[in-house]
Structure 1
């Protein structure tokens, strides 16, 4: 059982390798906490899980990835670079990759890259064996240069995603999923004050929650797990311990997905509309399984920002569902 004595503050990491144009039991005012997230785990050891095998690759890029990192001629120089101009980070959800000063895991860490990042390859080289692979990539990201193990990257011709202002917002559910709105805007239980424009969706535990629009992860908290006193909901003292994800959108606003059972993204990761940010739960100040979702100002904090009204393109009529209404998502549908 985890101690609740303190929670460390960690400032948000810079967003690397991305081109940018740019809550309660739900109970009580969302402004009552400004707890910040811890950074997710990073790695350049162990066994990777390539994102191309999950079916998510085509969502982020217009072009198809070429070959698995390490396949074909791994020679250094222009030939190797031409065959692999960029790589996409491919690690398990919620993880990131260390960028090392040299091609070995004992070298200093100069940066970290979130899952699905696309970075430019300077050259292909060899180094320490990682997951049976001796190949490493020398890469450049912003002003940083370093090396990443090929075991955690995949060659691609795609360009880094560009975060644009969304044309519309969709329900925070995967395509064709249905849910009942248990509390809508101006709800008397907790949706007032800064949380006035929030929505609660009654959902079974571990229902995927999808990004309402393309966004970049700016904050997250994923520390509340089984055995924690706030894992299955709890009193107001559990308010700071709800697992959540915050996305920044291209129009300057943000969105929050709260009370998660599991978080599936990492800080700095580009998340396309319709892709799951995590699984629903009942963590934190909660009376039962549900998801608290809200569009909000990007105010430099995670959970203390003013909510903003939102209309969902997949909700008939006004686009604003009310309490008791059952909705069906078209988010990410072909």
Structure 2
């Protein structure tokens, strides 16, 4: 969806990846899905002749988040959840907090909503100020941690956004990449709250399309009313069950710790002092680099980092020529042509990228 303001809301990281390129553009954990998960999914194929039954998967996801099954809606990825929200609620003043994942705004606009934007500033570390959201907004969408800024907003700040007559949508697609999920609102008793989760990022299931919504039963009913019959396939339901058990939660927790370490290595290699909890260069975590013109803003907590660098568009093309794909930032409202998003990868992959990065920056 190319808008007159120049932002391509339908551009995603997978479009950056080409044959033979090292992928630092897509935010899916490497080495996934794990073999045990593939086996669980493959085992469901014997049931393909039957229509999908959601009850076991609903129970598993509800148990994972300590809520009731009627507070969970399974979806064909988080993207379907955004479409259902756009269809289910007749809003007068929807607001999307940017920079963030563009799919929510694209879904709202496709459904005919007139969307307002609140733009967070890099100079403030992309930190949310709840007072910036218009008081009359009746639907507010925000990511936590936010793609592409990697900033983890305080749960208390998000709670301030809630008010009577307002739907508050928090996209937590990357929350399980944060050790302990400290700022998650899943299961919180907040009127109008809708939390969206995805199994794509941590488990490498982008091709399977499975995610879910956690909200009050009444809101779930409204979303289900505009959802097609049998929206989630039998293999996707098997994945939802498998990714909610004790083994999966333990593996996910360990992966989050590893992401923390790998991200610190990436930021250190970029020469940036911001992005590390407790090690920000200023109140807002604004950090420069030993390389001319490279800056980070905010404290990165997700499986990716956002950098501003002079000549980013040309740098991105030169990286491609050297076999590396990174995500352009200028398709995100609030950013421009000097921004790049770089996925966190194991240190060995990061070291190869950093060598090329340093060569190109001199």
With normalisation by structure 2, the TM-score equals: 0.25
Structure with bigger strand share is 1
Structure with bigger helix share is 2
